[in-house]
Structure 1
């Protein structure tokens, strides 16, 4: 239970008060009625004439004294952000943000800097109509906690895999219920480990379940076909922001986002061509589709754009002396999916690619934080075959090649990175990931491995957030994985719907005094499934 003076309590009390002041219901409400609003001026202008904010507000890419604030309007307008260190907005700062125009699907962001370390920041977003500058949208409110100081515990959540396999927003069932469950854990930030959309997955109005009942989806034109155009991909991201639970969560919890395959198409890699067996696509070039997908992903997420490399997905976030987070990109630089048994680390065997591999090594080496969390969009030892009809049998999608022997193919990058961590005695590295649609906890042990030149470490898998449940997968033994927990039975029927409650996420909590990181895995209702205290190596 948070004390009445804690940052987390103030943050949530602010959002509850803001919602109550605007007459907004925060639980069980349809989409647009569930967005927290506050401080709206007297309605001189009819609401229908004001700019609307159909996708809520979101913060992200938060580090030390910076945070991105994101939102989206429905027409040409200018983003305006007020922010303060108190929920009454006394002595608030006002920042005139960028124009929201059709070229960004009316999305906009501001990069707040110089924020107070270790404090809650409250913000309000309005959009000013370009055609009628005296007309503003009603404000939407959010809050975030700025990292800093060694005196405060840090809590974060992680998961992935959202709106997959045709399981969309079923408002009668409660929508994306897992977001509300995660919100109750009061995380300081959320790592979305990819498959944020399923651009290759159509959502039908109704799906008949095994018991004969109907799962009823909210449907939109963009989710009624596979995504190919920029507007198709935009519509996929917009779809997930129709869920009241996600909107509420996003207003309170900053996002750190990476991508995996379904943001573009199942198991894609650069340069790939869609084969003749796949009939749904007019555009056959995956690199063209990836350009559209990445642009939409950047438009619909609170990414901080790197000026020297504006399309870069891999990045790092410093949360002070306790934690640093390293987000990987395992899509943009990979070689073609193959049998994954190359004996030399060339571009054909790349997963991270040479530049990113150098970056993660040097970033880990420079880190002075106790814990280093590597967010990987795919697990290390769970075997993920590429089962697309246009690839040969025995093709692999992830790191592992299922031969259990010395590192080959993409495993060469893992071996290189793990060896570097050991050689430089980089301590307390933990991996978090998703992708495989079940949760697991694995301890990697050199004494059980074919490749032994590494320090033991943990890898935790979350997901799915709201998608079909699959698995468990086969395990490649190259790096000595000791699987300590799996969230589903070994004989489970595949593609289980969210209604069977097999949706999962993880939580990491670092105690500021002891520096112990407690990692736990949870189901859709928040039940503890697995928990372990990781004591830092000093």
Structure 2
């Protein structure tokens, strides 16, 4: 990425995010909204390419729900995004929206919030940026499409995975880049759940990595990915790096994203209030709360988030896909207590994982849902034991829900026990969990007959990933909630941190049949091979 002025040491995060939210909201009224027939002047035919705004990060859509969608892109200079959209590929009778100005304050990213979209129809859109210094100069157009939820007779297909550019495995263009995105695109999902670790801000990428067979893995490198992220521009550069991959850009132009964060968007095993130990010497910026503020700001700038004006830092949210499906995206980073032995006997701030406000939200949201299927997107698995192996952390410290003791719920397990109990007490049907984080794929059925804690309805949890990172595992399983692991995508004796070239990269697909309402969930490898499939029949 090009050099920029150093960011100020203190970010007014809430002020910035409110500004970003207002900028998005302003698209619906005032001088920034032009809902008219497409009458924009075409780009000047003789303008040299280097004088046009450049869209090196491509285009994305996301936060699709009912009749709304966010369109996102990013230019390389002060400009304004112009989006034309219609329900036909020729863009006949297209409508046009313009964004707030794309300025350095948002790293030249911009978004528009489309609304009033027709249920069950595919929307085609075209994005250009107008140079604010010369209104006659436009970028080359980029085109995309998205499918709006709804339609009683239409099946729903979605993909899920996580973990991208981790452990030093970056974009190897000679190998094909992030090949898994092109594979997922071939399945034509309606949307994609990115379950976190969108970036590895703490994982520098080197130009070459020697493989076990002596050959070299050759990475595309950038200044921002050549070191740990410590400034706002470093974090921005991590997100921009992944959008250099042609496979991801092509996928993002056709498949809407629903994204959440995990730890590596900030730093390995991050939690609020975390301190660097003496063993971590790579960071000159020692204030993790500052790094977290940079990370969240960059994440919002580089994703098609719909910012909530009343709570502009909120990551958890829900998406209604009509009578068949609702998706609930959790945030298991912002409100958690410190990583610990995870043996607390009461549910309080120290043992929190979702936090009290988010726990109330997910309970009430599930209770209000009238959709057949309720998919909970969690950025960490329930029963796979994830130790915190950061420097200066004592042994027996845990990062996820499970504490590894196979007993009655303690620590963070108290929170999920409360949620599972609530689901049973209110007879909330057809809840399915999807997640990533552990860098292998698995399918697990949770049964109270095999559990230490029994006050819950049986349910499934599916793990995808990694998208493009080192492959690890399989992990130890905590038996508190009666997990029956039906499938694991890797051998138990596998050498750790396997490169993408070994093809151990995974994603999941969910497909809901509109007539039978059966949800078929399958796990796939990087080439699309079906590794495991199960049909989930809805409870009446």
Give TM-score scaled by structure 1 length: 0.92
C-alpha separation in 1, matches of 2:461 and 2:123: 32
Q: Which runs of 4+ in 1 moved over 6 A?
A: none
- Following TM superposition, by how much is the alpha carbon of 1:43 offset from its aligned partner in structure 2, in angstroms? 2.4
Counterpart residue number, 1:55: 57
CA contact (8 A) 1:386 1:395 kept: yes
CA contact (8 A) 1:40 1:138 kept: no
Q: What are the within-5 Å matches in structure 2 for residues 154-169 of structure 1?
A: 154-169=156-171
Counterpart residue number, 2:113: 111
CA contact (8 A) 1:40 1:139 kept: no
C-alpha separation in 2, matches of 1:237 and 1:401: 32
Instruction: Please say if 1:94 is aligned against 2:96.
Output: yes
Counterpart residue number, 2:29: none
Instruction: Please say if 1:137 is aligned against 2:139.
Output: yes
C-alpha separation in 1, matches of 2:50 and 2:406: 62
Counterpart residue number, 1:382: 384
Q: What are the within-5 Å matches in structure 2 for residues 35-434 of structure 1?
A: 43-434=45-436
C-alpha separation in 1, matches of 2:285 and 2:413: 32
C-alpha separation in 2, matches of 1:329 and 1:390: 26
Q: What are the within-5 Å matches in structure 2 for residues 418-497 of structure 1?
A: 418-497=420-499
Counterpart residue number, 2:27: none
C-alpha separation in 2, matches of 1:184 and 1:45: 36
Give unpaired runs (5+ residues) of structure 1. Answer: 1-38
CA contact (8 A) 1:123 1:141 kept: yes
Question: Alpha-carbon deviations, 1:178-203, whole Å to 9, x = none?
Answer: 00000000000000000000000010
CA contact (8 A) 1:78 1:129 kept: yes
* Number of equivalences: 500
- Following TM superposition, by how much is the alpha carbon of 1:41 offset from its aligned partner in structure 2, in angstroms? 5.0
Question: Alpha-carbon deviations, 1:441-465, whole Å to 9, x = none?
Answer: 0000000000000000000000000
CA contact (8 A) 1:271 1:285 kept: no
C-alpha separation in 2, matches of 1:297 and 1:326: 19
C-alpha separation in 2, matches of 1:486 and 1:286: 35
Task: Provide the aligned C-alpha RMSD in A.
Answer: 0.8
- Following TM superposition, by how much is the alpha carbon of 1:240 offset from its aligned partner in structure 2, in angstroms? 0.1
C-alpha separation in 2, matches of 1:251 and 1:153: 21
- Following TM superposition, by how much is the alpha carbon of 1:42 offset from its aligned partner in structure 2, in angstroms? 6.2
- Following TM superposition, by how much is the alpha carbon of 1:389 offset from its aligned partner in structure 2, in angstroms? 1.1
Question: Alpha-carbon deviations, 1:327-352, whole Å to 9, x = none?
Answer: 00000000000000000000000000
Q: Secondary structure at the match of 2:532?
A: strand
Give TM-score scaled by structure 2 length: 0.92
Counterpart residue number, 2:35: none
Q: 1:194 to 1:40 in 2, by over 3 A?
A: farther
CA contact (8 A) 2:43 2:136 kept: no
C-alpha separation in 2, matches of 1:229 and 1:290: 10
C-alpha separation in 2, matches of 1:40 and 1:154: 37
CA contact (8 A) 1:275 1:284 kept: no
- Following TM superposition, by how much is the alpha carbon of 1:40 offset from its aligned partner in structure 2, in angstroms? 7.5
Question: Alpha-carbon deviations, 1:462-492, whole Å to 9, x = none?
Answer: 0000000000000000000000000000000
CA contact (8 A) 1:447 1:480 kept: yes
C-alpha separation in 2, matches of 1:391 and 1:150: 52
CA contact (8 A) 2:44 2:138 kept: no
- Following TM superposition, by how much is the alpha carbon of 1:369 offset from its aligned partner in structure 2, in angstroms? 0.1
- Following TM superposition, by how much is the alpha carbon of 1:287 offset from its aligned partner in structure 2, in angstroms? 1.2
- Following TM superposition, by how much is the alpha carbon of 1:283 offset from its aligned partner in structure 2, in angstroms? 1.2
CA contact (8 A) 1:260 1:331 kept: yes
Counterpart residue number, 2:3: none
Give unpaired runs (5+ residues) of structure 2. Answer: 1-40
Question: Alpha-carbon deviations, 1:54-84, whole Å to 9, x = none?
Answer: 1000000000000000000000001111000
C-alpha separation in 1, matches of 2:247 and 2:89: 22
C-alpha separation in 1, matches of 2:51 and 2:294: 31
- Following TM superposition, by how much is the alpha carbon of 1:44 offset from its aligned partner in structure 2, in angstroms? 2.2
